[in-house]
Structure 1
Amino acid sequence: MNIAFYGSSLLSSYWNGAATYYRGVLGELARRGHRITFFEPDAFDRQQHRDIDPPEWAEVVVWDATPEACRAVLARAGEADAVVKASGVGVFDDELLEGVLDQAAPGALRIYWDVDAAATLEEIAGQSDHPLRRRLPEFDLVLTYGGGPPVVERYTGFGARQCIPVYNALDPATHHPVPPNARFQADLNFLANRLPDREVRVEEFFLRAAALLSDRPFLIGGNGWETKAMPANVRGIGHVGTADHNAFNCTPLAVLNVARDSMANIGFSPATRVFEAAGAAACLITDAWEGIEQFLAPDKEVLVARDGQDVAQHLQALTPERARAIGDAALRRVSRDHTYALRGEQVDAILRRELAAKREMVAA
C-alpha cells in the first residue's frame, strides 16, 4: 500500500531522537512491499545535520516550514492508502493533524503515531479543546512508540478507537559491535539531548554519580549541554551522529540510559538508546522504570539503578569481564526478541488487517 507519513525527520537525528525508530519501522515496511513517502519540514537545522541521504526505499519530501508549503504537502494525503500524522513534527503540528484527517481519501487509514505518548497524554489531559483530543475519535488507529497498558488505557479513555504500542527495536545492520574509539573513552557514557523534562533526572543519575566517583572519567554527548555546569571529571562532546553511535556505545566500560520524566512515570517506554546500546553489546545501566524486564533481564542483560548512588555502586562493582558478559547477553536478547524486522512484521499485519476492514466498511 501507499503510505504517506508526516513526521519530524527521516534524514536527521539532530534534535530528533525518533529518526532511527522511523528508519527501522518504515524500512521494514518498505521491504514488505509498501511504498513510503515521508514528508519532513526544513526546520531546526536538521537538513544541515543529516545522518543519511534519502534512502532508496522511501521518497522523502522536504518542505519549507511555511503555511503554503504545509498546505502543498497535505494536498498529497489523498493519494495514499494509509496516512500517518506523527507526534512532535515541531512545526504546524495542529495544521498537519487537521489536514491528514480532512484530506485523506475516504477509504484510507488515518493513523496517529505517537513517539512521545506519555507527554502527549499529559498535554491533552488538561485541554478539552486540544485539536488531538477533539479529533482523536476520527483516527482509525493510534500507534505508540511505547507506554504499554497504561498508555493504551488512557488513549482509549480519550476516545481512541484502538491503541497499539509498537516499541523501539534493533536494526542489526545499523547498530552492532565495533572496535573502540579513543574519542569516546570513559567509564560511563551518556547520550541524550538536553530537554527540560529529563534534566533533573540527568542531574541525579549521571551528574550525581560523576560527583560521587570524581576520580573516574564520564562522557556526555548530545545537544544543549555546553552551558550546563558539570563536575570536572565529565567531558562533553556535543551532538553525536548516528554513524558514531556504535563506537560511542562500544568504547566505555558502561553506558547510561535516563528516561524522560513522562516515560519514567508511565513505564513500558524503552528509549531507542536502550536497543542501540544492547545491539552494540554495551553494558547498559538504566534508570528504573516499570516494565524493564519485558525487554531486558535485570542483573543479567541490564543493570537497573534507582538513583545516582546506585549508578555509582554499579560502576564500582563492574569489571570489564562482567561488563562484557552483560553486553553479550543483551545483544543475544534483542537480536532474538526485539528487532525492527519483528516490529515491521507487526505493523504490516496491523495495516493490512485494518485497511481491509476499513474498505469493507466503506463499501457497505
Structure 2
Amino acid sequence: MTRCLDIVVLGLSLSSSWGNGHATTFRALLRGVRAAGHRVTFLERDVPWYASRRDMADPDFCDLIFYASVDELLARYAKRLATADAVVVGSYVPEGVKVIDAVSHLMPKRLCFYDIDTPVTLSKLRRGDEEYLARRQIPAFDLYFSFSGGKTIDRLRQEFGASRPLPLYCAVDLDTYRNSGAQRTWDLGYLGTYSPDRQPALERLLMEPARQLPEKRFVVAGPSYPSDIRWPENVERIEHLPPSEHAEFYSRQRFTLNITRDDMIAAGWSPSVRLFEAAACSTPLISDWWQGIESFFPPDEALVIARRSSDVVRALKELDDRQREAIADAAYKRVAGAHSAEVRARTFIDAIENVSPTADLAATDSMRRLPA
C-alpha cells in the first residue's frame, strides 16, 4: 500500500442483516479494508424496513451515514463523493439508476459497481428490468466487481460492455466466525431467508431427510417462510438469527446445508457467504452442485455434494466423526487461505489502486455527463 485510500460505498444495507445477504458481505469486506489502513464511509438509504431491524448501527470499521433521498444525498455529500479516491455503488440500492447517474455527474476519481447479485442483475437487464442498474451505465464504471466469476465475467465484458469486470466473491471475517466449542445440538441445519426458488431444494435436501430420520434433529433459521409450510416435527424453526449468533449456530451443527438460488446455479462460480462462514466455524458442509464449486471446496474432500435426499441421508448416517472432521478441516484451510476478509480486501484495494484516477476518462466522459 502506498497511501491511505478514501473510499465511499453506497450500498443496500450495512446496518441490518434482516432478509438480505448484503450486510454481512459488506461488513466482512470493509472490516478487512479498514484493517489494511484505508478509510471507508458507507452511505445507506434510511428505509423503515431496515431501520426497525438494525443489528449494527455504529460499526467500528467505517463511518455509517444514513440519507433520506437522492436529493439529500447530493445536497449533503456531493463534495465527499467527488473527492473520494473511489466511489462504489452496490446492487439493489434504492433508486439505483438515479443514484448512479447523479454520482457519475460529479465525475468521481474512480466509479465502481459492486454487484452482489450478478446473475440476478444480468437476468433482469436481459428482460429490460432496470430496477437498480441501467444497461447503458455499465460501460461507465472503472471497475465492475462481480459476486460471480467464471463465464459471467466474459458476459459482462462481451455482452454488457463492462471495461474492467472482476470477480469479488464474498468473504468471511475469521475473528467473528470461528467454532465456539458448543455441544452439537442439530444433525443438520440451514440458514437462509425464504426464497421460492430455493424451497424445492430445502424440501428435498432437509425436510425429506428429516422425515426419513425421525431420530435426528434439524433446524432452519431465517425469516419470511410462509405460515402454511408443514415442517416435520424434528425440524426446529428460528425466525431470524443476527450475524452475532451465526458462529454459535454453525458450531452446534454436525453438518450445515447450503442451497443456491436458481440464477446462481445457472451462472456458476457464485459461492454463498454461508459456505465460507460455516467452514470458518469448522462445520462440515453439504451443498447442492453448481459449476465451479470444486475450485472453492473439492467434493468429498472439503464438502459433500447432495443432489438427492438419499445423498443427505447417507452423509448423516454413514460419515463418522473422523470423516466429518477431515471434511471440516479441509474446508477451513481453503477459507483461511483464500476467502478471508483480509484476502478479499487486498483484492479489492489492489484493483482500485491499479486504475488511474483519470483512466479511460475520455471514453466514459460523455456517459458520465448523461442527465440524471
What is the TM-score when the length of structure 1 is the normalising length?
0.90
Q: Deviations over 1:206-251 (max 9, x none)?
A: 2233233333221000111262332222111111111111111111
Distance in 2 of aligned mates of 1:219 and 1:268? 27
What is the match of residue 369 of structure 2?
Answer: none
Distance in 2 of aligned mates of 1:129 and 1:327? 41
1:152-171 → structure 2 map (5 Å cutoff): 152-156=153-157, 157-171=159-173
Q: Deviations over 1:161-186 (max 9, x none)?
A: 1210011223111101102268xx21
What is the match of residue 43 of structure 2?
Answer: 39
1:234-245 → structure 2 map (5 Å cutoff): 234-245=235-246
Q: Deviations over 1:99-157 (max 9, x none)?
A: 2222243xx11111100101111110121877521221111110012x22221011112
AA partner of residue 160 (structure 1): A
Stretches of structure 2 lacking an aligned partner (at least 5 in a row): 364-372
Q: Deviations over 1:243-276 (max 9, x none)?
A: 1111111112111010111111211111000000
- Contact 1:85-1:100 within 8 A present in 2 as well: no
AA partner of residue 103 (structure 1): L
Moved more, 330-339 or 201-210: 201-210
Distance in 1 of aligned mates of 2:156 and 2:142? 13
- Contact 2:85-2:357 within 8 A present in 1 as well: no
- Contact 2:32-2:341 within 8 A present in 1 as well: yes
- Alpha-carbon deviation of 1:74? 5.9
Distance in 2 of aligned mates of 1:83 and 1:46? 23
1:206 to 1:355, Cα distance in 2 relative to 1, 3 A: farther
What is the match of residue 212 of structure 1?
Answer: 212
Q: Does 1:97 align with 2:100?
A: yes
1:98 to 1:213, Cα distance in 2 relative to 1, 3 A: farther
Distance in 2 of aligned mates of 1:101 and 1:200? 42
1:95 to 1:357, Cα distance in 2 relative to 1, 3 A: closer
What is the match of residue 19 of structure 1?
Answer: 23
SS at match of 2:162: coil
RMSD of aligned alpha carbons: 2.3
What is the match of residue 57 of structure 1?
Answer: 61
AA partner of residue 189 (structure 1): G
1:195 to 1:97, Cα distance in 2 relative to 1, 3 A: farther
What is the match of residue 143 of structure 1?
Answer: 145
Distance in 2 of aligned mates of 1:74 and 1:297? 46
- Contact 1:21-1:168 within 8 A present in 2 as well: yes
Number of residue-to-residue matches in the alignment: 355
Distance in 2 of aligned mates of 1:129 and 1:13? 24
Distance in 2 of aligned mates of 1:129 and 1:273? 28
1:28 to 1:104, Cα distance in 2 relative to 1, 3 A: farther
AA partner of residue 165 (structure 1): P
Moved more, 250-259 or 43-52: 43-52
Q: Does 1:332 align with 2:336?
A: no
What is the match of residue 282 of structure 2?
Answer: 281
AA partner of residue 27 (structure 2): R
1:1-364 → structure 2 map (5 Å cutoff): 1-43=5-47, 45-64=49-68, 66=69, 68-72=71-75, 75=78, 76-89=80-93, 91-105=94-108, 108-127=109-128, 131-145=133-147, 147-156=148-157, 157-180=159-182, 185-225=185-225, 227=227, 228-356=229-357, 358=359
What is the TM-score when the length of structure 2 is the normalising length?
0.88
Distance in 1 of aligned mates of 2:289 and 2:361? 45
- Contact 2:124-2:130 within 8 A present in 1 as well: no
SS at match of 1:355: coil
User: In proportion to residue count, which structure has more helix?
Assistant: 1
1:44 to 1:21, Cα distance in 2 relative to 1, 3 A: same
AA partner of residue 258 (structure 2): N
Distance in 1 of aligned mates of 2:141 and 2:359? 11
AA partner of residue 97 (structure 1): I
Distance in 2 of aligned mates of 1:142 and 1:4? 15
1:199 to 1:39, Cα distance in 2 relative to 1, 3 A: same
AA partner of residue 252 (structure 2): T
SS at match of 1:83: strand
- Contact 2:67-2:73 within 8 A present in 1 as well: yes
Higher relative contact order (CA 8 A, sep 6+): 2
Distance in 2 of aligned mates of 1:312 and 1:73? 56
Stretches of structure 1 lacking an aligned partner (at least 5 in a row): none
1:30 to 1:256, Cα distance in 2 relative to 1, 3 A: same
- Contact 1:181-1:247 within 8 A present in 2 as well: no
- Contact 2:150-2:268 within 8 A present in 1 as well: no
- Alpha-carbon deviation of 1:348? 1.2
